[in-house]
Amino acid sequence: MPAKPPDDARPGTAKPCPICGKPATEASKPFCSERCRDVDLNRWLSDSYKIPAARDDDEDAE
């Protein structure tokens, strides 16, 4: 019988960091680092102010 794959090496278990797409780490998951976690938090807080997204095409009225 071949050895079964180790539990900590299951593919598809680690989701990529939602901020930068790097593999998430155990310490900061679902982010890859504390830094990305802060980025996500700030993004979330900013969103509560209804700040428009990066594009302001709305200004481009004809």
Which of 15, 16, 20, 41 binds Zn ion (CB under 5 A)? It is 20
Listed ranges 3-11, 14-22, 41-49, 50-58: which one lies at the site for Zn ion (CB under 5 A): 14-22
Which of 2, 5, 25, 32 binds Zn ion (CB under 5 A)? It is 32
Listed ranges 3-11, 31-39, 46-54: which one lies at the site for Zn ion (CB under 5 A): 31-39
Per-residue 3-state assignment (H helix, E strand, C coil) for 21-55: CCECCCCCCCCCCHHHHHHHHHHHHHHHCCCCCCC
Place of tokens 């700030």: 42
